[in-house]
């Protein structure tokens, strides 16, 4: 049986980041993924500029476009455009971006075994991963196996994490229309009680989709079709159409024990204002690696990972949730005045751009508006 210091299940941004940092520090690391890489990943592919700062290598080779314009509308009306003055996000195709991160993990010394579905875990002071025709054991397990996280469930972690749903299509737009979306992210609001549709420009396609509460998942396909029609893209060929789940950790839901941790989507580390999770995936991968190394050296138990996430990540996610409920609450109560105010007063979008660029944080921006926490908390109680 193969033996490692850590087994990482899932080779997305969180898993590959944890594996790279562990291997670079001398740990023996095995990365498992049920897919063969590169593989398609349902995701809008918008990466805030601040994400790039977490990585010790460039990502230019996989950037499809960089956006500095935010085009906002309410069901196609009351449209306005905000200019950040410089790119606030990069657009990538996840199969290429994830392959880059995995390659860096392998370069650091991590071993990768694709096409391996974990069927069971045996935990007894260490963890043994059981797949078809394959077994391996390790001192620690990093569960980076996505929002459904079957391996996280086997480890007894992740119960009670909230979720929502998204549907995305990759559209082959005519060249003229494709060019008109360059450097621009479109956000279409007006869904009840919250949610938005998006258009993100890529090199040869447009990533178009919608994110809604879980109870409305059944309406997503029709709503995306209606959005495509509104954009004049109803007849454009669709390369891929796929749904996915997004999870949100809101409190003390368990994401660590003495042998295993959850990272990224598995841990519900996405913010509820943008539903973006790649930044938090990479950050949690770094935090997981740090805690695994501490545990291996006997400095601290692996359970300190949850404490570190609660201290370093959760304040930001809580602030994003407050901002989300304030924004969508105002939009629901007074859509026209709120859209008008949003278009005329620069604070909201300037703050948004600053957070995405890494020049500020949600927590810092929320603290600048003393009335916001109380207002959002009241709206949360009314849900």
DSSP state for residue 237 in the 8-state scheme: P
pLDDT of residue 210: 97
Q: Which of 9, 322, 318, 36 is nearest to 157 (CA)?
A: 9
Domains and CATH numbers, the chain: 2-43+94-161+249-312 (3.50.50.60), 66-90+162-245 (3.30.9.10), 319-381 (no CATH)
Of 322, 331, 325, the closest CA to residue 362 belongs to 322
pLDDT for res 125: 85
Q: Is the pLDDT score of 33 beyond 60?
A: yes
CA trace torsion 319, 324, 327, 329 (10° rounding): -120
Could you identify the residue written with the tokens 């990069």?
Answer: 90
The pLDDT of residue 367: 85
What is the Cα–Cα distance from 296 to 96, expressed in whole angstroms?
A: 32
pLDDT bucket at 369, cuts 50 / 70 / 90: confident
| Mean of pLDDT values over 78-89 | 97
Say what the pLDDT of residue 162 is.
95
pLDDT of residue 276: 96
Please, are residues 325 and 271 in contact by the beta-carbon 8 Å criterion? no
pLDDT, mean of residues 88-114: 98
Q: What mean pLDDT is reported for the chain?
A: 94
Average pLDDT over residues 212-230: 94
Kindly give, in sequence order, each residue whose CB lies less than 8 Å from that of residue 359, ignoring residues fewer than 6 positions away.
none
Strand segments (E) across the chain: 2-9, 29-32, 46-48, 63-67, 69-74, 77-83, 89-92, 111-113, 118-123, 127-131, 134-143, 162-171, 184-189, 196-201, 206-212, 238-248, 260-262
How far is the C-alpha of 40 from the C-alpha of 364, rounded, in Å?
35
**What count of other Cβ atoms lies within 10 Å of the Cβ of residue 325?**
23
Average pLDDT over residues 325-338: 89
CA dihedral for 11, 14, 15, 18, sign (positive or negative):
positive
CA distance 79 to 243: 27
Place of tokens 């178009």: 208
Q: Does 237 have pLDDT greater than 80? A: yes
pTM confidence score: 0.95
Residue of higher predicted confidence among 330 and 254: 254
Q: Region 184-213: what's the mean pLDDT? A: 96
Confidence of residue 169 (pLDDT cuts 50, 70, 90): very high
Residue 381 confidence (pLDDT): 54
What CA–CA distances, in Å, run from 43 to 62, 250, 268?
15, 22, 15
Q: What is the share, in percent, of the chain residues with pLDDT greater than 70?
A: 96
131-161 pLDDT, tens digit each: 988 999 999 999 999 999 999 999 999 999 9
Q: Where do we find the tokens 């309410």?
A: 74
Q: List, as one string, the DSSP characters of 35-103.
A: SPSS----S--EEEHHHHTT-SS--GGGEEEEE-EEEEEETTEEEEEEE-SS--EEEE-HHHHHHHHHH
Q: CA–CA separation, 192 vs 208, rounded Å? A: 19
Say what the pLDDT of residue 333 is.
87
pLDDT in tens, 255-276: 999 999 999 999 999 999 999 9
pLDDT at 372 over 80: no
| pLDDT score of 201 | 97
pLDDT exceeds 70 at position 370: no
Separation in Å, CA 85 to CA 201, 273, 347: 18, 22, 15
Alpha helices in 109-190 (DSSP H): 150-154, 175-180
Q: Please tell me whether residue 294 adopts helix, strand or coil conformation.
A: helix
Dist. CA 283–CA 117, nearest whole Å: 25
Query: What is the pLDDT averaged over residues 201-211?
Result: 97
CA 215 to chain centre: 21
Scanning the structure block, which residue is given the tokens 């695994």?
292
Residue 21 to residue 287: CA distance in whole angstroms: 10
């Amino acid at each position: 049986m193969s033996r490692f210091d850590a087994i990482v299940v899932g080779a997305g941004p969180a898993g590959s980041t944890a594996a790279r940092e562990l291997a670079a520090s001398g740990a023996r690391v095995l990365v498992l993924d049920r897919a063969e890489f590169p593989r398609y990943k349902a995701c809008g592919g918008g990466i805030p500029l601040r994400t790039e700062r977490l990585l010790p290598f460039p990502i230019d080779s996989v950037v499809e476009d960089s956006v500095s314009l935010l085009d906002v509308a309410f069901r196609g009306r009351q449209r306005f455009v905000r200019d950040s003055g410089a790119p606030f996000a990069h657009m990538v195709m996840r199969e290429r971006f994830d392959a880059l991160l995995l390659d860096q993990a392998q370069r650091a010394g991590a071993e990768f075994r694709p096409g391996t579905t974990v069927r069971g875990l045996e935990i007894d002071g260490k963890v043994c991963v059981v797949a078809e025709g394959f077994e391996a054991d390790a001192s620690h397990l990093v569960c980076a196996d996505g929002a459904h996280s079957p391996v996280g469930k086997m480890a007894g972690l992740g119960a009670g994490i909230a979720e929502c749903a998204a549907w995305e299509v990759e559209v082959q737009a005519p060249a003229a229309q494709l060019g008109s979306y360059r450097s621009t992210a479109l956000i279409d609001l007006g869904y009840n009680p919250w949610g938005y549709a998006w258009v993100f420009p890529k090199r040869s396609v447009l990533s178009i989709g919608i994110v809604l509460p879980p109870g409305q998942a059944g309406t997503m396909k029709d709503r995306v079709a209606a959005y495509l029609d509104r954009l004049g893209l109803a007849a454009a060929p669709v390369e891929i159409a796929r749904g996915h789940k997004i999870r949100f950790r809101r409190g003390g839901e368990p994401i660590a024990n003495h042998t295993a941790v959850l990272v990224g989507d598995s841990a519900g580390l996405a913010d509820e204002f943008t539903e973006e999770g790649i930044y938090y995936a990479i950050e949690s991968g770094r935090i997981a690696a740090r805690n695994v190394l501490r545990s291996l050296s006997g400095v601290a138990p692996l359970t300190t990972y949850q404490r570190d996430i609660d201290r370093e990540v959760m304040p930001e996610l809580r602030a994003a949730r407050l901002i989300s409920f304030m924004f969508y609450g105002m939009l629901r109560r007074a859509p026209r005045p709120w859209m008008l105010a949003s278009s005329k007063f620069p604070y909201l979008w300037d703050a948004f751009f600053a957070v995405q660029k890494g020049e500020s944080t949600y927590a810092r921006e929320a603290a600048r508006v003393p009335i916001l926490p109380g207002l959002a908390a009241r709206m949360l109680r009314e849900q």
